[in-house]
Amino acid sequence: MEFPPPGELEYGATHDYANEYIPLGAVGPGGPRMMVEGGYRPEDHGAPPVVEDYANGSHSQLHMGNSGLYRELRSVMNDGGDRFGVSTITVDTQEELIWVGNQGGHVTSYYGPQLQKYTSFQVHPTNPIREISTFPGGVLSLYNNGLRCNARQGMRVFDCKGEDFQNMQSMLVLSDTRLLLGGHQDRLVEVDLGSGVQTVTHPTDKVGVAIMRPDQRFICCGVPTGHVQLRDPATMKIEHTLEAHRGALSDFDVIGNQLITCGFGERLGSLSVDRFLMVFDLRTMRPMAPLHVPLEPIFLRCMATYSNRIIIMDQSGQFQILDPGGLVTPEMMVLYQVSMAGDMVMDFDVSSNSSCVVFGDSGGCCHLWSSSDEEVTFNTFSTETEFAEPVVPLHAFPFSDELSSFSTIPMPYCEEEPLLSDWPAELCRVSMRQPPPVDPEILRSMKLVQFIGYAPNTGGRRRNQVAYRDVAGGSKKGSSKDKVPESPSGRTEDPMMVMVPKPYRKVEIKYSKLGIDDFDFRHYNRTNFAGLEPHIPNAYCNSMLQVLYFVEPLRCALETHTCSKEFCLACEMSFLFYMFDLSKGQTCQASNFLRAFRTIPEVSALELLLGDAEESTGKANFPRLIQSWNRFVLAQVLQETSDPATGEDEEEGASEEEKKKEKPLAHLGETVSRLFEAKVDNANVCKVCSKETVREASTMVVTLAYPEAIAAAAQGKEVKQQSFVEVLQGSMNIEQSTQAWCDDCQRYQPSMQVRSYKRLPDVITINCNLETQSDENFWRRQEQLAGVNYDHQKESAQSQVKACRYALNCTRADCRFRHDPPSTEPEVEMKSWLPLYIKVRVSQDRKVDIHELKIEGDRVDDIDAEGYVTYYLHASVCHVRDPRSGGNLVAHVNVGKTYHKRKEGVTHMQWYIFNDFSIQPIDRFDATQFNLDWKVPCVLYYMRNDATNHYDITINNPIVSSCLQPSGISKASGFKPHMTFTPLGSEETIGEGFLVGLDAEFVSLNQEEAEIRSDGTRSTIKPSQMAVARITCVRGQGELEGEPFIDDYISTQEQVVDYLTRFSGIKPGDLDATISSKHLTTLKATYLKLRYLLDMGAIFVGHGLRKDFRVINLLVDHRQVVDTAALYNLPKQRIVSLKFLAWYFLGTNIQSETHDSIEDAYTAMRLYKKYLVLKAATEDEKEWETELKKMYEEGRKHKWKVPGTE
């Protein structure tokens, strides 16, 4: 029987969203180096576990994130990283250097925390570097059959080779002159570091030694049988043997009197990663209590600090810091995640002072993490590093500048002949620069005081400056204002942004004293589609949310989904898409979706959360962020719609009809799987013995892999033209070589990994992966070879200046409008490297065949005679570069006919650009042409042409009346939460026109950011982020009129900065589920109640409901809203408070001490009833206006304060 991966056996099947393609057994020389006979198969290792799996088990206290002790400082691509992965990495123990060896035999060193390249040299032409060690005399590099010593400046000191150097694996510096080497052979080799020659050999087991660590009394040697041998340093004899693991040893280290190991165990006849760390006491030579860890440890290092600590790591990039004695602290409950873009960890090391940790991955990158907030160093006392003498640069100056001093140019003295600049005196004359004439207006208005004249500035010149004529002879037309580019974000654009068309520029909301109530969103969006506000934290994903909304089967499936899980991205996306459907051009916000997004542990682990500092300084890598977001969200939505544990619970009291309305959850998960998931088989073939191992897998995202264009250019070869479909086909039919363990060969062997397809998805999701400059150069070169012309984009950028109505007949010299000459050139055919249509099929050998499809006319066949399926470009997401702010992300979406019919009333397909709340129609070539100077492709969606025909696109509302029943979550002991409301009875029905009094209270999550201008006015830069804390609904009709039926306090897990008790009545502790005495519930549960009332056609009555619905994140049709703030208001007059209206019209005093939402909701309902009575008593609108004027006069008289109150 086949043994399943450990993650599926113990914790259930999980989808690896961190990397859609994990190389099978791709562990190189820097990875686990010790296996046993009978062995370890790559398919037994499985994908790394998702930490969310532990939330249901004994590790529920663990959380992932970078909020712990360590944080990432810097990442660099190693020399040769585009071709070879990192094989070993070491922190220098003498100097502030990091040494990196790769699988191509190259060694590179980096200086300091900035990872400045120090030296780089080749050790072996082909063999990978197995290990690097440092000692005062230089740096030692060990490869398969030899050893090289180099000075730290790169010069070779000695080479050591011989018959005893066979399959070397590890080395240990015993002293300044002694070095011990081990490998998969039956002897240990000792080398003299002074002379560089082999001195003596020591016998060992046949399987050899692969890991060696120093100790005060012994030399600890790890052997492939899972044992650790303790040898006498003087005689090299084995004194003790520790039984560590039954399967194999992966790594171990020694700290103090403790030896800790990680490795593999036997399970059902196969090997799997052992989740227990074995701890041995070297004083008694006995094992201690093992440590159970939440990840699959492959690497282990000890950290010498004030207390003993160890750091463990798996190959997916997760690591944790532990106490070997079992002590648990908050710091040791943090799981860190190294961002490696889907690559695997090959090796890591800890600095001698334990303040830095450095990682190397299979993608050729090095990642430096540190725990220090001050100056970062690798060693407590480091030797000063020797640098080359700097070259003094010569300052350049323009040759055409008349004021340049050419005498500063060093030149030899010429005695034999004169210089060319030595002109004869008869050919030279002195010419003084003449000052410009004084303006006659200045002379006319000038007043003399003694001998100095004073005159007002006419406005033509700057103060204290006199402009000379243009020495270059050119003339400047127009004013300086013409150089200021216009943009939606104001006039502070960088001049380079002039080349960016206006629809692509970053848009910002201009806040006033009324917030955003007076901001004209319709100026940026003339369509009926919904835009998204960008000021919310982590709103960089707005573009991808728009792309997913316009995938019709996904939208319908999600809007049919609901579950009992508090933070479910599928549910929040369903609520957001519902608002998109209702919107008629209004701008929405994804605040609830992003709130749930922030609470998922994996989001922080994958570094998908954008910090305020990164957002404000523009240091965020938006292309990498949005591609990782795309991969994660698709996998998360698939998991949430497929997992029965998050399905719809059968609520008590739900009718049979309501239960029938719910679709089976498996159907929704099947829809998402068919849309985005490709079923594949990953085969691993040993190149030596040809043994093949196959594992079933699935992938949701295709990451493009580009040819090595730089290598071809360096060799003088012309980069050949390749079509996009060739690159896509090569990326999907991936074949790569890697080092993996072979059971038959009983060692690491070069292996070929091959992917074959069983089923293609209906939406091919592509991450463009333009991470390096060589990738960008390849894309740029292919567009040039394809004849892509960007002139229409330049014209679009210049079109922000309006054309003059008189064209070339204009006679005004200072005309600021554009004068376009008549075009005499023929119209240029638009081309693009990115195809609009492709046809795809799975061939008989289970490879993917892709061809570009040229469309002639409007006819497109869905499936042709050869079995090819037509896909069209549905959307593309790109990053608009801006060096000042970091740029922004925009989406091009080919909006389908169903959306146009529902929103615009027409049936056609049109491309649009979605730039947050700015939406404009564009040409199709704007979505396929990418000028990489300012526009970088990130994500592409190719959708099957007949995809909607294969899915049920009807939407059944999953929200039922049972959601209105109370569902408190308070856990306070000793008493039951006080019920301040009466739930709806079975005889009470919510129908169309049912009056509901609504009021909501809020708390502040962060403070408002504002600035004071030079004129004293206050400008809001970033508004405060509010969160709903209490929602109350009262009956507006029936026997229990005025009685609340919803009064929910909303629990929050985010930090509250200000409870606003004076205005909200919320006190600290009211929102804490452990101590609150209120009816506490989740935001999602209360949101479902409001959605049900909205769907049933209820009319909401309240005061200032626009802000309430905005914070709740609910879009309500204006026909279902009655706002008393608008009923009792005169045009262009202030909004009257609810407290004053209640005193004036109802004769009651409310809000005497603090706000109560029940009182406010009931008062608003009474004011609405009073309004109906007063309107019925007045004959025309003028009488009602007169009544309001009396109220305004009374308000001014009392300064809008209720008499008798402060």
Using CA of residue 63, residue 66, residue 70, residue 76, what is the dihedral sign? Answer: positive
Please check whether residue 266 lies inside any domain of the structure: yes
For 759, residues 6+ apart whose C-beta sits below 8 A from its C-beta are 678, 679, 842
Of the three residues 370, 398, 416, the one that is the final residue of a domain is 370
Going by pLDDT thresholds of 50, 70 and 90, the confidence category of residue 1160 is very high
Of the three residues 342, 370, 398, the one that is the final residue of a domain is 370
Structure tokens that stand for 587 in this block: 């701008």
Q: What is the pLDDT at residue 1190?
A: 92
249 or 972: whose pLDDT is higher? 249
Q: What is the pLDDT at residue 6?
A: 37
pLDDT, average across residues 196-213: 91
Q: What is the pLDDT of residues 282-312, one digit of tens each?
A: 999 999 999 999 899 999 999 877 678 899 9
Going by pLDDT thresholds of 50, 70 and 90, the confidence category of residue 1012 is confident
Residue 487 pLDDT greater than 80, yes or no: no
Please check whether residue 172 lies inside any domain of the structure: yes
Long-range CB pairs of 799-803, under 8 A, 24+ apart, other chains included: 799/501, 799/502, 800/485, 800/486, 800/502, 801/482
Known binding-site positions: 999, 1001, 1108, 1160
Termini Cα distance of the chain: 81
Q: Three-state SS string across 1087-1152, please?
A: HHHHHHHHHCCCEEEECCHHHHHHHHCCCCCHHHEEEHHHHCCCCCCCCCCHHHHHHHHHCCCCCC
Please check whether residue 206 lies inside any domain of the structure: yes
Please check whether residue 1169 lies inside any domain of the structure: yes
Q: What is the C-alpha to C-alpha distance for residues 1079 and 978, in angstroms, rounded to an integer?
A: 6
Query: Which range has the worst mean pLDDT, 257-271, 274-288, 820-834, 1118-1132?
Result: 820-834
For 1055, residues 6+ apart whose C-beta sits below 8 A from its C-beta are 1005
Q: Is the CB of residue 1097 less than 8 Å from the CB of residue 994?
A: yes
Q: What is the pLDDT at residue 252?
A: 94
Q: What is the pLDDT at residue 858?
A: 46
Q: Is the CB of residue 458 less than 8 Å from the CB of residue 441?
A: yes
Bridging pattern class, strands 63-64 and 869-880: unpaired
Please check whether residue 565 lies inside any domain of the structure: no
Residue 469 pLDDT greater than 80, yes or no: no
- DSSP label at residue 595: H
DSSP 744-785: TTTEEEEEEEEEEEEE--SEEEEE----SHHHHHHHHHHHHH
Q: What is the pLDDT of residues 635-677, one digit of tens each?
A: 999 999 887 544 444 444 444 444 444 444 457 888 999 999 9
pLDDT, average across residues 452-479: 60
Quote the mean pLDDT of the chain. 82
Please check whether residue 213 lies inside any domain of the structure: yes
CATH number of the domain where residue 1048 is located:
3.30.420.10
pLDDT, average across residues 382-403: 81
Known binding-site positions for a divalent metal cation: 999, 1001, 1108, 1160
Q: What is the C-alpha to C-alpha distance for residues 1086 and 1095, in angstroms, rounded to an integer?
A: 14
pLDDT, average across residues 875-895: 89
Q: What is the C-alpha to C-alpha distance for residues 288 and 291, in angstroms, rounded to an integer?
A: 9
Structure tokens that stand for 638 in this block: 């698939």
Q: Is the CB of residue 890 less than 8 Å from the CB of residue 539?
A: no
Q: What is the pLDDT at residue 920?
A: 92
Of the three residues 318, 335, 370, the one that is the final residue of a domain is 370
Half-sphere exposure of 235 (CA within 13 A, CB side): 5
Q: What is the C-alpha to C-alpha distance for residues 301 and 359, in angstroms, rounded to an integer?
A: 12
Please check whether residue 1177 lies inside any domain of the structure: yes
Q: What is the C-alpha to C-alpha distance for residues 593 and 574, in angstroms, rounded to an integer?
A: 9
Structure tokens that stand for 584 in this block: 């008629």
Q: What is the pLDDT at residue 1087?
A: 92
pLDDT, average across residues 877-890: 87
Please check whether residue 246 lies inside any domain of the structure: yes
Q: What is the C-alpha to C-alpha distance for residues 890 and 790, in angstroms, rounded to an integer?
A: 18
Best CA proximity match to 318, nearest among 342, 295, 301 = 295
450 or 234: whose pLDDT is higher? 234
Residue 994 pLDDT greater than 90, yes or no: yes
Q: What is the C-alpha to C-alpha distance for residues 478 and 486, in angstroms, rounded to an integer?
A: 16
Q: Is the CB of residue 927 less than 8 Å from the CB of residue 911?
A: yes
For 109, residues 6+ apart whose C-beta sits below 8 A from its C-beta are 92, 97, 98, 99, 100, 117, 118, 119, 120, 139, 152
Query: Which residues form the domain of 197?
Result: 63-370
Q: What is the pLDDT at residue 52?
A: 34
User: Three-state DSSP class for 70?
Assistant: coil
Best CA proximity match to 796, nearest among 421, 499, 501 = 501
The number of domains in the chain is: 2
Q: Is the CB of residue 530 less than 8 Å from the CB of residue 588?
A: yes
Q: What is the C-alpha to C-alpha distance for residues 1012 and 1007, in angstroms, rounded to an integer?
A: 16
CA distances from 1149 to 201, 307, 335, 1060, 1187 (A): 97, 64, 55, 21, 21
CATH number of the domain where residue 148 is located:
2.130.10.10
16 or 113: whose pLDDT is higher? 113
Phi/psi for 575 (5° steps) reads -65, -40
Q: What is the C-alpha to C-alpha distance for residues 1079 and 972, in angstroms, rounded to an integer?
A: 11
Q: What is the pLDDT of residues 432-463, one digit of tens each?
A: 777 777 888 888 888 888 888 888 877 666 66
Q: What is the pLDDT at residue 129?
A: 95
pLDDT, average across residues 1009-1022: 71
Q: What is the pLDDT at residue 959?
A: 87
Q: What is the C-alpha to C-alpha distance for residues 428 and 53, in angstroms, rounded to an integer?
A: 88
